[in-house]
Structure 1
């Protein structure tokens, strides 16, 4: 089995959420589950931002779910969606 590059969109619960704090917690929570390829803050507009996260995980059943569950347990995270999955 190979690896997959996964792009996740992480939305905060509200506009007052500390994006930097969420980013730091994401890094801590997913350590050992995957490797981070890239993490960016993206402006939506009107002060809203989300985190665009590119990770590399093993191409095994349930790996992406484990990462998403780990991220969703973070205080301040509202919604997570998978935007893209590519075999690498």
Structure 2
């Protein structure tokens, strides 16, 4: 089994969400077999920022689904979108 790096954009529920705290919660709920890679905060509009996180997962079918579901269940998350999947460098 190989690994892929999935870039995910996590939108918080509002502008007042503490992004550092939210990032820590996301890392804490990563399912078995998924690893935190890195992150950045990306400005969207009107003070709202998204967390763009790279997560390393297995390249099996449905590889990012468990991560997406875990992230979506975290309080303070509005949405989770996979924006890119590729081989880790």
TM above 0.5, yes or no, is yes
Q: Say how many residue pairs are matched.
A: 88
1:46 Cα deviation after fit: 1.8
Instruction: Report if the CA contact (8 A) 1:37-1:54 is conserved.
Output: yes
Instruction: Give the TM-score normalised by the residue count of structure 1.
Output: 0.90
Distance 1:58 1:74 in 2: 22
Per the alignment, residue 75 of structure 1 pairs with: 75
Structure 2 gaps of 5+ residues are none
Per the alignment, residue 47 of structure 1 pairs with: 47
Cα RMSD (Å): 1.4
Instruction: Report if the CA contact (8 A) 1:5-1:55 is conserved.
Output: yes
Structure 1 gaps of 5+ residues are none
1:58 Cα deviation after fit: 0.6
Higher normalized helix content (fraction of residues) = 1
1:66 Cα deviation after fit: 0.2
Instruction: Give the TM-score normalised by the residue count of structure 2.
Output: 0.89
Distance 1:17 1:37 in 2: 22
